[in-house]
Amino acid sequence: MSTLQSEIARRRTFAIISHPDAGKTTLTEKLLWFGGAIQMAGAVRARKASRHATSDWMELEKQRGISVTSSVMQFPYKDCIVNLLDTPGHEDFSEDTYRTLTAVDAAVMVIDSVNGVEAQTIKLLNVCRLRATPILTFINKLDREGRSPIELLDEIEDVLDMQCAPMTWPIGMGKRFRGVYHLLDDKVTLFDPHGDKDDQDAGQIIAGLDNPELDRILGEQAEELRIEIELVRGASHTFDKQAFLAGKQCPVYFGSAVNNFGVRSLLDALATLSPPPQPRPAASREVQPAEPKFSGFVFKIQANMDPKHRDRIAFLRVCSGRFDRGMKMFQVSTGKTIAVNNAITFMAQDRSIMEEAFAGDIIGIPNHGTIRLGDAFTEGEALKFTGIPSFAPEHFRRARLNNPLKTKQLQKGLQQLAEEGATQMFRPITSNELVLGAVGTLQFDVVAHRLEHEYGVDAIFESFSCATARWLRGSEKAIAELIDKAGHNVAIDGAGEHVYLAPSLVNLRLTQERFPDVTFLETREIL
């Protein structure tokens, strides 16, 4: 194997999806601990402390305050280089999460054993399903009195329509939680509530379900376990790698993140079961990771910490080849070639300059607003990566200025913030208004805050009567006809596309019936 191929083969790029409070932060911290990035753990904990902020405003500050380094965390584990992509916890920033999920090759789904499958889990899993992303499931908080494991697996199968293949099985729960049995390895790892909090998985291991040692240690729970395992083996799916890679079946691990129990098994599964960097679809062809030429796309843009400089970091997922410091990259959307000397790696606690990266890795490119969400970079080929979603906003505001002389700044600010994905922007074709759209209302607060601090624009956001938006697709004639008859509800979005701003859902339905030759899209791919 060439260096390129072997470097790519050892990459694992994933994100954690969960409903708030299921334990994502705790699990992240433990994973980083295993990866030897222990100094990062402090950073995660600090974020957790601020997470319990009460007001939305503080939440907003927190979202903005997440340091760039914690958006992507890279660490070595065994022979692998693991890239863990963080996603914002707050539901209002879910668009950002959706886009991050386009840059991973696998996802870990954390389920709280007390609460089971929750609303945000369902939403995020549906996003993973769009790309058939392989999912590993971690059922957390076994140290608490939760639901029965069988019931939890049933719920995942029913509600999420995902086959479950238990890889470990819990021995009791809450006060009776004694550890897990590994179904494939036929061994038990014991849980010690007072044991080494750093690595419970390294604790006592007993080989074989029939081992009398188990009876000695677990007492009556040993026999209960044997009966349960027989049942589980008969009734549940056995792990099928093809089904897992196709996103149809998830291996399930039980544990307790806060006690660092079961985390190593999960990490081992990530290293051994989850796929290396996968091909990425582009408009013209599928891009293979081991192609010698570099390519990648921008899935996230984050404003930098210093608002005065309006710096941004564009997060690029390398899709093929390798990146070397200083290499010239062709920006497909502008046709320009840029030399990237200051790309950021996320390996260490602090930022450091990236020397090289391979397919699967994420690099951060500092820029001043020249890079947009969805931008592709290559060594010259005009690739357009597909599948980066933009979702129909559900909240709308009209932007009005206190000082009309600042119109230009307002337009520029909104345009740039829209390009970053902080909000969506619409210009109705029959008026001079600027309308903002968001999936979550907190996004408006971010935009107002940033307009003021980064662009010096004091804007007021007024209510705007619109139920939802749909991107319009159809022949020129069909679109022109719709504009002719219902142009007062049509706008142009930040990317220059026609959008229907429906005052009500009834109006939307009637308009759809009236113009059958036009397609009304709820999700648009950024191209």
CA atoms in the 13 A half-sphere facing the CB of 164: 29
Q: Give yes or no for residue 144 binding ligand GDP (CB under 6 A).
A: yes
- Confirm if 272 and 39 have CB atoms less than 8 A apart: no
Shortest reach from residue 28's CB to ligand GDP, in Å: 7
Beta-bridge mates of residue 323: 357
Beta-bridge mates of residue 99: none
Shortest reach from residue 114's CB to ligand GDP, in Å: 9
Q: Which is nearer to ligand GDP, 218 or 257 (CB)?
A: 257
User: How many positions of this chain bind ligand GDP (CB under 6 A)?
Assistant: 18
Q: What does the block give as tokens for 500?
A: 């229907």
Determine which residue in the list 21, 157, 224, 379 makes contact with ligand GDP, applying CB under 6 A: 21
In one letter, which amino acid is 242?
Q
Q: Which is nearer to ligand GDP, 89 or 364 (CB)?
A: 89
Distance CA 151, CA 333 (A): 50
Beta-bridge mates of residue 487: none
Determine which residue in the list 24, 131, 300, 450 makes contact with ligand GDP, applying CB under 6 A: 24
Shortest reach from residue 140's CB to ligand GDP, in Å: 5
Q: Is 432 exposed, middle or buried (0-12, 13-18, 19+ CB in 10 A)?
A: exposed
Q: Which stretch binds ligand GDP (CB under 6 A): 19-27, 316-324, 381-389, 481-489?
A: 19-27
Shortest reach from residue 36's CB to ligand GDP, in Å: 20
Shortest reach from residue 197's CB to ligand GDP, in Å: 11
Q: Which is nearer to ligand GDP, 25 or 390 (CB)?
A: 25
Q: Which is nearer to ligand GDP, 119 or 184 (CB)?
A: 119
- Cα distances from 360 to residues 6, 18, 96, 229, 474, in angstroms, run 12, 22, 19, 38, 36
Q: Give yes or no for residue 258 binding ligand GDP (CB under 6 A).
A: yes
Q: Give yes or no for residue 257 binding ligand GDP (CB under 6 A).
A: yes
Q: Which is nearer to ligand GDP, 258 or 492 (CB)?
A: 258
Residue whose C-alpha is closest to residue 149's, from 121, 119, 183:
183
- Confirm if 225 and 218 have CB atoms less than 8 A apart: yes
- Confirm if 252 and 164 have CB atoms less than 8 A apart: yes
Site for ligand GDP in 88-127 (CB under 6 A): 89
Q: What does the block give as tokens for 116?
A: 């089971």
Q: Which is nearer to ligand GDP, 111 or 508 (CB)?
A: 111
For residue 494, give every residue at least 6 positions away whose Cβ sits within 8 Å of its Cβ, in sequence order, or none: 415, 418, 419, 424, 425, 426
Q: Give yes or no for residue 256 binding ligand GDP (CB under 6 A).
A: yes
Q: Which is nearer to ligand GDP, 175 or 408 (CB)?
A: 175
Distance CA 459, CA 142 (A): 49
Site for ligand GDP in 51-90 (CB under 6 A): 89
Shortest reach from residue 165's CB to ligand GDP, in Å: 22
Determine which residue in the list 140, 189, 221, 416 makes contact with ligand GDP, applying CB under 6 A: 140
Helix and strand totals (H; E) in the chain: 15, 33
Q: Which is nearer to ligand GDP, 18 or 367 (CB)?
A: 18
Q: Which is nearer to ligand GDP, 48 or 248 (CB)?
A: 48
Q: Give how far the C-alpha of residue 416 lies from the chain's centroid of Cα atoms, to the nearest Å.
A: 22
Q: Give yes or no for residue 26 binding ligand GDP (CB under 6 A).
A: yes
Residue whose C-alpha is closest to residue 489's, from 512, 522, 509, 466:
466
- Annotate 23-84 with DSSP letters as a single string: SHHHHHHHHHHHTT-HHHHHHHHHHHHHHT--SHHHHHHHHHHS-GGGTEEEEEETTEEEEE
Q: Which stretch binds ligand GDP (CB under 6 A): 22-30, 321-329, 411-419, 465-473?
A: 22-30
Q: Which stretch binds ligand GDP (CB under 6 A): 256-264, 340-348, 363-371, 375-383?
A: 256-264
For residue 158, give every residue at least 6 positions away whose Cβ sits within 8 Å of its Cβ, in sequence order, or none: none
Q: Give yes or no for residue 449 binding ligand GDP (CB under 6 A).
A: no
Q: Give yes or no for residue 25 binding ligand GDP (CB under 6 A).
A: yes
Shortest reach from residue 257's CB to ligand GDP, in Å: 4
Q: Give yes or no for residue 321 binding ligand GDP (CB under 6 A).
A: no
Query: 111: helix, coil or strand?
Result: strand
Q: Which is nearer to ligand GDP, 257 or 469 (CB)?
A: 257
Q: Which stretch binds ligand GDP (CB under 6 A): 18-26, 35-43, 92-100, 289-297?
A: 18-26
Q: Give yes or no for residue 271 binding ligand GDP (CB under 6 A).
A: no
- Confirm if 430 and 488 have CB atoms less than 8 A apart: yes
For residue 343, give every residue at least 6 positions away whose Cβ sits within 8 Å of its Cβ, in sequence order, or none: 323, 325, 353, 354, 357, 363, 364, 365
Determine which residue in the list 8, 13, 23, 469 makes contact with ligand GDP, applying CB under 6 A: 23
The binding site for ligand GDP (CB under 6 A) comprises: 18, 20-26, 48, 89, 140-141, 143-144, 256-259
